[in-house]
Amino acid sequence: MSNYDVVIVGACTAGTYFSNLLAKQGLKVLVIDKDEEENLSRRLDIFHFTHQSFQDYGLEEAKSGDEEFVRNFDLCYSKSALDNYLKKSFLKVAVMHLPLFIKRLRKTALANGVTFRFGVSYDHLLYDEQKRIKGIAAKSGEEIFARLVVDASGIPSVVRRSISDPFIEDFEIGPRDKFYVLLKYVELSDAKDKVELSTSWPYYKGWIAPQHSANGAIVGVGANLSYDYARKCMAKFERSIPLPNYKLQYEELGCTPYRRPPFSFVTDGFLVIGDAACLTKPMNGEGITSAWVQCTPAAEVVAHALRDGKYPTKEALWKINTLYQRGEGAEFANLRATLIGAVDMSPKDNDYMFKESIVFKSDDEEVKGSVTGKLIKGVLTGQFSLKALRSLMKSSSCGQKLEKHYKNYPDNPKDYPAWKKKADKLWSKAGTMADNIKDA
Ligand SMILES: Cc1cc2nc3c(=O)[nH]c(=O)nc-3n(C[C@H](O)[C@H](O)[C@H](O)COP(=O)(O)OP(=O)(O)OC[C@H]3O[C@@H](n4cnc5c(N)ncnc54)[C@H](O)[C@@H]3O)c2cc1C
């Protein structure tokens, strides 16, 4: 039997980063993971992390010589479905090994007093006589007591899914709610084709990016439903876009949540973070720093809720909801809904969107003229279909309504049921990315 202020289930980017923030607030924190330390996050090797994030999240910049560091690049391109209209994003990005990056995060957390235990699997929640969460039981039968339980278990969302509480949605992140990502690590046949920055084709949810070998690249595609369907999308992407010739080295398969996050992240004695809370970016499914946007201010709220030996009620934790949902939550709700319509169209329609910088634009581009005017002009000149116009108008109207609603996220749990009811209605109108699939 052991007692902690906080027990976190899941020791990857969300759980480890959050544990360090809590320890810095003076809390006694335990992080458990079902995997052994040497197998942690083995599902994914290479990942991308913007340099701005090192500063934003108080991390030392990774540099040449650090074991997790591979290389930097400072420009990302995106192109239309017909391979036109290059858009530039001026982001300095670090390419790193994820398991080694997590090891670095863990080292800092350990230095700040966090306890890690590996090979410990969550089984169920423990409740006191007043039916309040008081800790967790591991599969081994061991009981771990803590005033706050945090679910950072990724897609399985093992704790969130085991809670029966009107403030916590216990949905499964199923095939329609995630992207199956197929990554081909390839060796380029011609050294002239060297891939030094990342280029994406949002229409195909496909991209090519650098990897650890200088003559290599990663060709990736993400798609709902299954790995089989992702393979089909990869074939379509490679048929449509002239990628450099390559020899396949190996493949990596992984999933990332692609659905709206739960409406509330907290209830009495509980918080959900990271992939378990579906906090991934609508544009590309990346989830490391978008999850940290939620858990950085959450650490202060948690410390306040636990001060003087208090039990963390949902009222005391509620600010975690309002801070996130009114900020990144509102922005992502709009984008997630808008993108559903923005990709449900023909390659020619998508090409016109790039041409006119509608939704897809360069960071340094000054976009002139109204979007509606450009869309109508597109229809009248035969460059943009009426069907695509309808789809985009519907999705962007849903997106704007959702953003407004999220900005009015309730100040306290009492007003949550009415807010949730309206949010449910708006999302049912918006639909999901999986609704667009016609060729599975
Ligand atoms: C192919 C691919 C490429 C990606 N590239 C990027 C990228 O470049 N940049 C970016 O920001 N994001 C990227 N992402 C997304 C990113 O990897 C995730 O958003 C992020 O790793 C999620 O972290 P997490 O800590 O929430 O969950 P996870 O990384 O899923 O960690 C959850 C942990 O919980 C543990 N766990 C699960 N069940 C239990 C249990 N019962 N008991 C105890 N422990 C349990 C697991 O063992 C695991 O270690 C990518 C995703 C994929 C699939």
- 190-228 pLDDT tens trace: 989 999 899 999 999 999 998 888 899 999 999 999 999
Structure tokens at 92: 């300095």
165 lies in the same domain as 180: no
pLDDT at 103: 97
Q: Does residue 84 lie in a domain region?
A: no
pLDDT on residue 211: 86
Give CA–CA dist 81/228, Å, rounded.
22
Closest CA to 134 of 320, 7, 32, 28: 7
Q: Mutate which of 256, 272, 290, 295 to test ligand 1's pocket (most atoms within 8 Å of Cβ)?
A: 256
Assess whether 38 and 132 both reside in one domain: yes
Shared domain for 141 and 162, answered yes or no, is yes
152 lines ligand 1 (CB under 6 A): yes
> Ligand 1: which residue has its CA nearest to atom 27?
154
Same domain, 209 and 250: yes
Q: How far is the CA of 428 from the centre of ligand 1 (A)?
A: 27
What is the count of structural domains for the chain?
Answer: 3
Give the integer Cα–Cα distance in Å for 88 and 183.
23
The whole-angstrom separation of Cα 294 and Cα 306 is: 18
Which of 219, 242, 257 finishes a domain?
257
For 13-34, what is each residue's pLDDT tens digit?
999 999 999 999 999 999 999 9
Residue 77 lies in a domain: no
Return the percentage of the chain with pLDDT > 70, whole number.
100
Give yes or no for residue 258 having a pLDDT over 90.
yes
294 occurs within a structural domain: yes
Neighbours of 136 (CB within 10 A): 25
Mutational pocket test of ligand 1: of 21, 47, 161, the residue with most ligand atoms within 8 Å of the beta carbon:
47
Q: What is the CATH number of the domain that holds 186?
A: 3.30.9.10
Cα 250 to averaged position of ligand 1 atoms, centre (Å): 21
**Ligand 1 closest atom vs CA 123:** 41
User: What per-residue confidence (pLDDT) applies to 436?
Assistant: 85
How far does residue 131's CA lie from ligand 1's centre (Å)? 31
* Chain segment 262-308, per-residue pLDDT in tens: 999 999 999 999 999 999 999 888 999 999 999 999 999 999 999 99
Residue 328 located in a structural domain: no
End-to-end CA distance of the chain: 50
Centroid of ligand 1 to alpha carbon of 275 (angstroms):
6
**Pocket of ligand 1 contains residue 136 by CB under 6 Å:** no
Q: In which domain, by residue range, is 145 found?
A: 2-70+93-171+259-321
Distance 41 CA to ligand 1 centre (A): 7
Q: HEC string of the chain?
A: CEEEEEEEECCCHHHHHHHHHHHHCCCCEEEEECCCHHHCCCCCCEEEEEHHHHHHCCCCCCCCCCCCEEEEECCEEECCCCCCCCEEECCCEEEEEHHHHHHHHHHHHHHCCCEEEECCCEEEEEECCCCCEEEEEECCCCEEEEEEEEECCCCCCCCHHHCCECCECCCCCCHHHEEEEEEEEEEECCHHHCCCCEEEEHHHCEEEECCCCCCEEEEEEEECCCHHHHHHHHHHHHHHCCCCCEEEEEEEEEEEECCCCCCCCEECCEEECHHHHCCCCCCCCCCHHHHHHHHHHHHHHHHHHHHHHCCCCHHHHHHHHHHHHHHHHHHHHHHHHHHHHHCCCCHHHHHHHHHCCCCCCCCCCCCCCCHHHHHHHHHHCCCCCHHHHHHHHHHHHHHHHHHHHHHCCCCCHHHHHHHHHHHHHHHHHHCCHHHHCCCC
Q: Could you tell me if residue 309 is inside a domain?
A: yes
pLDDT digits (tens, 9 = 90+) for 351-373: 999 999 998 999 999 988 999 99
Query: What is the rounded CA–CA span in Å between residue 132 and residue 31?
Result: 21
274 & 420 share domain: no
Q: Which of 205, 231, 257 is the last residue of a domain?
A: 257
CB 121 less than 6 A from any atom of ligand 1: yes
Same domain, 284 and 204: no
CA of 156 to the centre of ligand 1 (A): 10
Say yes or no: 194 and 51 in one domain.
Answer: no
Å from CA of 23 to ligand 1 middle: 22
Q: Is the CB of residue 37 below 6 angstroms from any atom belonging to ligand 1?
A: no
25 and 133 together in one domain? yes
Q: Is the CB of 93 under 6 A from ligand 1?
A: no
356 & 398 share domain: yes
What spacing in Å lies between the alpha carbon of 244 and ligand 1's midpoint?
30
CA 10 to ligand 1 center in whole angstroms: 9
Residues 187 and 166 in one domain: no
Q: Which of 268, 291, 321 is the last residue of a domain?
A: 321
> What CATH number corresponds to the domain at position 32?
3.50.50.60
Q: Are residues 238 and 371 in the same domain?
A: no
Q: Is the CB of 83 under 6 A from ligand 1?
A: no
Its pTM stands at: 0.94
pLDDT over threshold 70, residue 248? yes
> Alpha-carbon distance 30 to 261, whole Å?
25
Which atom of ligand 1 is nearest to 255's Cα?
Answer: 53
Query: Whole-angstrom Cα distance, residue 404 to residue 301?
Result: 25
CA 339 to chain centre: 15
Same domain, residue pair 37 and 121: yes
- Of 372, 282, 286, 298, residue with least CA distance to 330: 282
Cα(25)–Cα(23) distance, integer angstroms = 5
Residue 2 pLDDT: 62
